């Protein structure tokens, strides 16, 4: 076994690998970029080496620099995590050349699976079932178009070198093909440096079921069962679970065996995932093999009781697989939710910013216990309160993983755990995750990759939140702050301009941040009796400071509530009854008329780079017409005209870097 390894990654996966190293007494070396100088993964490792600037290209993708760091620190092996260089054959080769073990499969296996097109050809010869489609070398646009016509619409265009749901386009009609191909190729070239595409029949209502495989250097190969990752947005996984619900034992075995056959066909070593797409009828087809550890590996760890990173290290060090197929079993059910900094209601656009307040439910970090002592809630996170989600890397905040004896129990635990997540700073998908978990299709296991889209309206419908209770807590927190009181004392004693005796009233002006609506609450006190009036209703009101930081309690009318109020300037973030609400105190001095958002303004929804300007000054455009294409976090975002009009001015050109909220172009609305 190794004594020292370098982790060529960042964020939660670097922390995850470091946790196993610590448990096994292996010294870990972190690498970091400028933006990550104070990152959690640096603190999680025993040593750290600075490798360059903030963009991935200047740091985590620099093969030579990382090899240098490994040599300089005397690391015997490199763990690539996922993403970045994890499936890069040049990197694996460079490790080999430098005499450093690459904790992953042999170079040839990465190469064989690196191209989705070549992998499909190989799998075809290994008799692994494939989705009908075209994966040939000839990339002539007309030929591709004819192939798509022949396969029959809808078809799915995929970047052959793609991953992470990027570089895919569904084409529903032949008229849309040319534009979709151009856009797919552009994204493929910029994200993967290779614009080759393949075409597949687009299956309706499929499930994404994948199999975890492991192989050693001695010919041993096993499958560690399946995961269902059907709940996706933009073809990216949101919720994952193990085992895949409702799989018949013979299907489970057949898929496991097909996955092992796929691994054997490329002389695989280490951890790999064979992804299948499954029809409603239970037929499954090979999609691709990911030659690395997956983001969602913890659900497999939760149900098998195994530490997959430990297995990876042992296999890379030349040891045989720790267990044989008949020694592996599934115990219970596990679900993982990916908590992202993003705006679900704005098409899941990534959100950035400082994590001003971050509280995760009671759980254990990176627990990879064995047997019965597995923790029911596990949290894998690469950030801490005070850290910033930057536009440079993946905006994932944490993975929340729960385990239960049954799927039902795991579901309950997940709901409860999500209620305990509090994030102030970037927008998050926590509320959205809560709704999916509670939705009928998810809770009944009626899974398919279109679940989010099909139930869009229900998942995004406004929910009734505990408004009065949250308001009571916010008012309590505000009065505590304005009164400058110590814990437990009455703020009124400290307020010189408010009378202590007799009755008085105080009007508090608030804005509901989510609804963007203003309202007032009137606080009245007459002797000991206190009331709060809002929405024309006057109710008895009391509040008190809780024992912990940010904790408050209140009664309003008949309701009793406790929760946490995190105050940022004049914005009060209230977390109570499993919901998050935010109120902005309209400190009258700071009143601002917000008349800036005229229809003609077109602003960047996030920081990024302009990659295409589709209109010129003077152009007459229709409502919805694409105007500018931006790239951010390796994804394309098209900015369309909010209304018909004439382009008065184009403010940025191709290649320009733009800040969040920057005006991109001026439109004279008709």
Kindly list the catalytic residues.
292
Alpha-carbon distance 647 to 652, whole Å?
Answer: 13
Segments of 250-350 assigned E as strands: 270-278, 284-290, 333-340, 342-343, 349-350
Segments of 193-344 assigned E as strands: 197-201, 207-215, 221-233, 236-242, 270-278, 284-290, 333-340, 342-343
Q: Is 478 in the site for ligand ADP (CB under 6 A)?
A: no
DSSP 399-445: EEEEEESSHHHHHHHHHHHHHT-EEESS-BSHHHHHHHHHSHHHHTT
Alpha-carbon distance 583 to 513, whole Å?
Answer: 6
What is the dihedral angle through the alpha carbons of 244, 248, 250, 251, rounded to the nearest 10 degrees? -50
Q: Is 481 in the site for ligand ADP (CB under 6 A)?
A: no
Stretches 201-209, 299-307, 412-420, 600-608: which one binds ligand ADP (CB under 6 A)? 201-209
Closer of 158 and 427 to ligand ADP (Cβ)? 158
Closer of 276 and 566 to ligand ADP (Cβ)? 276
**Long-range contact list for 15-20, CB < 8 A, 24+ apart?**
15/40, 15/41, 15/44, 15/366, 15/380, 15/381, 15/382, 16/309, 16/366, 16/380, 17/79, 17/81, 17/309, 18/44, 18/45, 19/44, 19/365, 19/366, 19/368, 20/307, 20/309, 20/310, 20/313, 20/368
Q: Is 412 in the site for ligand ADP (CB under 6 A)?
A: no
Q: How far is the CB of 338 from ligand ADP (least distance, A)?
A: 14
Among 52, 114, 162, 553, which residue sits at the site for ligand ADP (rule: CB under 6 A)? 162
* Contact between residue 115 and residue 266 where contact means Cβ atoms under 8 Å apart: no
Among 53, 74, 152, 165, which residue sits at the site for ligand ADP (rule: CB under 6 A)? 165
Counts of helices then strands in the chain (DSSP H, E): 17, 40
Q: Is 296 in the site for ligand ADP (CB under 6 A)?
A: no
Q: State the binding string over 437-456 for ligand ADP (x if CB under 6 A, else -).
A: ------------x-------
Q: How far is the CB of 117 from ligand ADP (least distance, A)?
A: 11
Q: Is 198 in the site for ligand ADP (CB under 6 A)?
A: no
Interaction with ligand ADP in 645-664: which residues (CB under 6 A)? none
Stretches 164-172, 482-490, 549-557, 612-620: which one binds ligand ADP (CB under 6 A)? 164-172
Stretches 161-169, 254-262, 332-340, 556-564: which one binds ligand ADP (CB under 6 A)? 161-169
Q: How far is the CB of 203 from ligand ADP (least distance, A)?
A: 4
Among 20, 28, 33, 232, which residue sits at the site for ligand ADP (rule: CB under 6 A)? 232
One-letter-per-residue 3-state SS of 347-409: CCEECCEECCEEECCCCEECCCCCHHHCCCEEEEECCCCCCEECCCCCCEEEEEEEEECCHHH
Interaction with ligand ADP in 238-257: which residues (CB under 6 A)? none
Q: How far is the CB of 344 from ligand ADP (least distance, A)?
A: 18
Q: Is 208 in the site for ligand ADP (CB under 6 A)?
A: yes
Closer of 294 and 312 to ligand ADP (Cβ)? 294
Q: Is 202 in the site for ligand ADP (CB under 6 A)?
A: yes
Q: Is 82 in the site for ligand ADP (CB under 6 A)?
A: no
Q: Is 156 in the site for ligand ADP (CB under 6 A)?
A: yes
Q: Is 163 in the site for ligand ADP (CB under 6 A)?
A: yes
Using DSSP, state whether 580 is helix, strand or coil: strand
Q: Is 231 in the site for ligand ADP (CB under 6 A)?
A: no
Interaction with ligand ADP in 257-276: which residues (CB under 6 A)? 275
Q: State the binding string over 131-150 for ligand ADP (x if CB under 6 A, else -).
A: x-------------------
- # of chain residues touching ligand ADP (CB under 6 A): 21
Alpha-carbon distance 495 to 370, whole Å?
Answer: 57
Alpha-carbon distance 217 to 267, whole Å?
Answer: 9
Closer of 212 and 449 to ligand ADP (Cβ)? 449
Q: State the binding string over 584-603 for ligand ADP (x if CB under 6 A, else -).
A: --------------------
Give the Å distances, CA to CA, from 89 to 84, 117, 192: 12, 16, 13
* Contact between residue 242 and residue 410 where contact means Cβ atoms under 8 Å apart: no
Q: Is 203 in the site for ligand ADP (CB under 6 A)?
A: yes
Binding stretches for ligand ADP (CB under 6 A)? 131, 156, 158, 162-166, 200-203, 206, 208, 232, 235, 275, 277, 287-288, 449
């Amino acid at each position: 076994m190794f004594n020292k390894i370098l982790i060529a990654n960042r964020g939660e996966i670097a922390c995850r690998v470091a946790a196993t190293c610590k448990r096994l007494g292996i010294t870990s070396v972190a690498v970091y970029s400028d933006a990550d100088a104070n990152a959690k993964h640096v603190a999680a490792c025993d040593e750290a080496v600075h490798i360059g600037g903030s963009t991935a290209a200047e740091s985590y993708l620099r093969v030579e620099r990382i090899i240098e760091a490994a040599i300089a620190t005397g690391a015997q092996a490199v763990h690539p995590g996922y993403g970045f260089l994890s499936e890069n054959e040049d990197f694996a080769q460079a490790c080999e050349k430098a005499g450093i073990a690459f904790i992953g499969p042999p170079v040839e296996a990465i190469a064989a699976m690196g191209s989705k097109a070549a992998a499909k050809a190989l799998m075809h010869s290994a008799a692994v079932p494939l989705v009908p489609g075209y994966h040939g070398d000839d990339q002539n646009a007309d030929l591709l178009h004819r192939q798509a016509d022949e396969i029959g619409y809808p078809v799915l265009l995929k970047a052959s070198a793609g991953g992470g749901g990027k570089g895919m386009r569904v084409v529903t009609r032949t008229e849309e093909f040319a534009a979709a191909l151009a856009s797919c190729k552009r994204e493929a070239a910029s994200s993967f440096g290779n614009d080759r595409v393949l075409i597949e029949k687009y299956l309706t209502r499929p499930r994404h079921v994948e199999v975890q495989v492991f192989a050693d250097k001695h010919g041993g190969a096993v499958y560690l069962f399946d995961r269902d990752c059907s709940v996706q947005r933009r073809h990216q996984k949101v919720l994952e679970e193990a085992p895949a619900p409702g799989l018949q034992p013979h299907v489970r075995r057949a898929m496991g065996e097909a996955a092992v056959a796929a691994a054997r066909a490329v002389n695989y070593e280490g951890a790999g995932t064979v992804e299948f797409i499954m029809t409603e009828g239970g037929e499954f087809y090979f999609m691709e093999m990911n030659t690395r550890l997956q983001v969602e590996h913890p659900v497999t760890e939760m149900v098998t009781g195994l530490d997959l990173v430990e297995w990876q290290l042992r296999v890379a060090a030349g040891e045989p697989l720790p267990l044989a197929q008949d020694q592996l079993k599934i115990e219970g059910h596990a679900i993982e939710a990916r908590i992202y900094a993003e705006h679900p209601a704005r098409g899941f656009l990534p959100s950035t910013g400082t994590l001003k307040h971050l509280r995760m439910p009671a759980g254990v970090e990176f627990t990879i216990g064995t047997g019965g002592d597995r923790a029911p809630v596990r949290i894998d996170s690469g950030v801490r309160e005070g850290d910033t989600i930057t536009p440079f890397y993946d905006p994932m905040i944490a993975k929340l993983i729960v385990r239960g004896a049954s799927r039902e129990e795991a579901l309950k635990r997940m709901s409860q755990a999500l209620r305990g997540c509090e994030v102030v700073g970037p927008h998050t998908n926590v509320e959205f995750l809560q709704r999916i978990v509670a939705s009928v299709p998810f809770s009944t296991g009626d899974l398919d990759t279109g679940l989010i889209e099909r139930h869009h309206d229900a998942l995004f419908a406004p929910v009734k939140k505990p408004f009065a209770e949250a308001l009571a807590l916010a008012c309590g927190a505000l009065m505590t702050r304005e009164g400058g009181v110590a814990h437990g004392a009455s703020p009124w004693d400290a307020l010189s301009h408010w009378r202590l005796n007799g009755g008085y009233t105080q009007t508090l002006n608030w804005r509901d941040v989510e609804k963007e609506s203003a309202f007032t609450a009137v606080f009245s006190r007459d002797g000991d009796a206190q009331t709060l009036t809002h929405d024309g209703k006057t109710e008895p009101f009391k509040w008190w400071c809780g024992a912990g930081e940010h904790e408050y309690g209140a009664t309003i009318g008949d309701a009793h509530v406790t929760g946490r109020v995190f105050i940022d300037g004049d914005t009060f973030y209230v977390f109570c009854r499993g919901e998050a609400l935010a109120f902005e105190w309209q400190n009258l001095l700071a009143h601002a008329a917000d008349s800036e958002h005229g229809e003609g303004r077109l602003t960047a929804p996030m920081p990024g780079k302009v990659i295409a300007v589709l209109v010129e000054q003077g152009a007459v455009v229709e409502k919805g017409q694409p105007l500018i294409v931006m790239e951010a976090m390796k994804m394309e975002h098209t900015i369309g005209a909010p209304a018909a009009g004439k382009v008065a001015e184009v403010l940025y050109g191709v290649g320009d870097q733009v800040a969040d909220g920057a005006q991109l172009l001026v439109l004279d609305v008709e």
